[in-house]
Amino acid sequence: MLSNSSPVPKLYISVIDDVIESMREVFLDEGVEERVLEELRQLWESKVMQSKAVEGFMKDTLNPSNFVLQLPTNYAQTLRKPTASIVIPAGQNLHNFTAKANSSSTLATFSLPPGVSYPVQIPAGVTLQTSSGHLYKVNVPVMVTQAPGSHRVLSQPIQHVLEQREPVAHQETTTNSTVLQTIAPPVNDLYNHPPAPTGPVIQPTEPQPVACQQLGQGQCTSTELPAVQPPVVQKLLHSQLPPESPSDSPFTLEGIDFSPQPLDMSPTSSFVGQLTGLQEKAGQMQVLGSEFGGREEEDMNNAEMGTLPKVTENTGAVNLEHSEDSVKAALMKAVSYNDLLDIVQLDGVCDSSSEEEQAAGGPEDDFLGMINAEALRALQEGDGSSDGGSSNSNNSDVEDVMPEEEEDPLNSGDDVSEQDIPDLFETDNVVVCQYDKIHRSKNRWKFYLKDGVMCFGGKDYVFSKAVGEAEW
């Protein structure tokens, strides 16, 4: 049935098994509980399964159901005695079930095999996990039916998939029917709702509705889960919920003190790096305080924030004796220098712009990026002296500048490749392997590789040998 399946999932499972088993003793030696090891396995497996790398992991050609049943330890024995109600075949695709049921691990997992004929009755005490990782604890026998349209749906048994606050471990087979009935109506409503975004975390004390993303291929349902869960299940749920993105909020200036403060010159270079992570380092922005009193427009601030590092670097190069007004004016001008400042070490270009702005005052020249302050002063002095002196000195100064301008365009071509290299090596398609031999003849290359893992667009492949040719 799965004869043409990819070897990757099995390989991954075997690697996971190997690692977990070999770490079992180490964990015990370290005094770490075994449930932590199982939790590691669950986290690892769920991440691998959720990735596209093994999208054929539990794939069946007929019914792509992604049901994973997690059984508590004490249920393993019950499951070994198949009752008439259990339709789950024991032979298909249960590669890790037997091992797990036999081991002393707290959880047993297996997936519904592809050829399972619905309806499937799942006995009580079973925890169902969807491919997206959401868990449903079953406290009464559950009937999994197949809705028309090949959707996998938990039909009326959903009503039973609810529990009370009492410890579940003590209730394996019986439930409080009155509780179920009262809860049933809302469950039905939820059952028909469109998929809701995941979000709620299973709290230890309060039952919360858990929205699932996918149940097999089917529609989404949500149900309430008990307050008290086995710790492993809780942890799993915690881990499988999408992590809250920490400081994804757009950059705001709230809480940033922009009271006038003397600029701190020393950590200028570090500050540049910090500005790239504005959201996390807002506290350090206080160093820049001075010029932003009164500026509350985000756009302007963002632009100025972008120019600030250059400003501080330049002020670091020059003695900072300017009044706030002049600095403010300079910063206004600095906004227009944004593009220029992105190009570093181009004295000629900056000089040309500074000439345009020189009418507004001398100080803003100091805020041009990466300009050698001494050269700038020399230029200014040369310009100043040319007014009263001969034009030759002025020309000589201009000639000194000219070769730089000519060289910069020549050298600027070298910079382009620098920027491309990081992007060049970034790709979603990666092959990680070992090489037996790399051969080159003129511009024809031949690759003899081995033991590789390939990932193309998220999908994984493996090879024991790879031979390739390419022309450079």
Where does this chain bind another protein (CB under 8 A)?
Answer: 4, 7, 11-12, 14-16, 18-19, 22-23, 26-27, 30, 32, 36, 39-40, 43-44, 47-48, 51, 53-54, 235, 239, 424-425, 427, 429-436, 438, 445, 447, 449-458, 460-472
Least separation in angstroms between residue 379's CB and another protein is 41
Is the CB of 39 or the CB of 224 nearer to another protein?
Answer: 39
Query: Rounded distance, CA 293 to CA 398, Å?
Result: 40
Is the CB of 5 or the CB of 380 nearer to another protein?
Answer: 5
The amino acid sitting at 467 is V
Is the CB of 18 or the CB of 355 nearer to another protein?
Answer: 18
Is the CB of 363 or the CB of 452 nearer to another protein?
Answer: 452
Question: Alpha-carbon Rg of the chain, whole angstroms?
Answer: 33
Query: Rounded distance, CA 154 to CA 141, Å?
Result: 12
Least separation in angstroms between residue 294's CB and another protein is 41
Cis, peptide link before residue 119, omega less than 30° from 0: yes
What are the angstrom distances between the C-alpha of 342 and each of 86, 271, 301? Answer: 68, 16, 18
Is the CB of 321 or the CB of 426 nearer to another protein?
Answer: 426
Phi and psi at 60, nearest 5°, equal: -125, 150
Query: Rounded distance, CA 447 to CA 190, Å?
Result: 56
- Helix (H), strand (E) at residue 356: helix 347-357
Is the CB of 276 or the CB of 417 nearer to another protein?
Answer: 417
User: Residue 303 has which token pair?
Assistant: 């632009």
Is the CB of 239 or the CB of 338 nearer to another protein?
Answer: 239
| Short-list 187, 238, 320, 306, CA closest to 39 | 238
Say if residues 209 and 224 touch (Cβ distance below 8 Å).
yes
Is the CB of 259 or the CB of 434 nearer to another protein?
Answer: 434
Scan for tokens 């302007």, then name that residue: 300
Is the CB of 233 or the CB of 340 nearer to another protein?
Answer: 233
Least separation in angstroms between residue 200's CB and another protein is 19
HSE, side-chain direction, 13 A CA sphere, residue 240: 31
∠ CA 301-307-309, nearest 5°, is: 115
Q: What is the DSSP letter of 362?
A: S
Which residues sit opposite 128 in a β-bridge? 69, 136
Is the CB of 359 or the CB of 421 nearer to another protein?
Answer: 421
Which residues sit opposite 454 in a β-bridge? 431, 461
User: Residue 291 has which token pair?
Assistant: 């010029």
Phi and psi at 53, nearest 5°, equal: -60, -35
Least separation in angstroms between residue 1's CB and another protein is 17
Q: What is the DSSP string of 112-152?
A: --TTPPSPEEE-TTPEEE-TT--EEE--S-EEEEEETTTEE
Q: What pairing do the DSSP bridges indicate for beta strands 127-129 and 68-72?
A: antiparallel
Least separation in angstroms between residue 129's CB and another protein is 16
Least separation in angstroms between residue 232's CB and another protein is 11
Least separation in angstroms between residue 230's CB and another protein is 15
Say if residues 209 and 200 touch (Cβ distance below 8 Å).
yes
Is the CB of 22 or the CB of 205 nearer to another protein?
Answer: 22
Question: Which residues have CB under 8 Å from 8's CB, separation 6+?
Answer: 53, 54, 56, 460, 461, 462
Least separation in angstroms between residue 89's CB and another protein is 26
Say if residues 454 and 463 touch (Cβ distance below 8 Å).
yes
Least separation in angstroms between residue 243's CB and another protein is 9
Least separation in angstroms between residue 114's CB and another protein is 20
Is the CB of 370 or the CB of 462 nearer to another protein?
Answer: 462
- Helix (H), strand (E) at residue 161: none
Least separation in angstroms between residue 461's CB and another protein is 7
Least separation in angstroms between residue 435's CB and another protein is 4
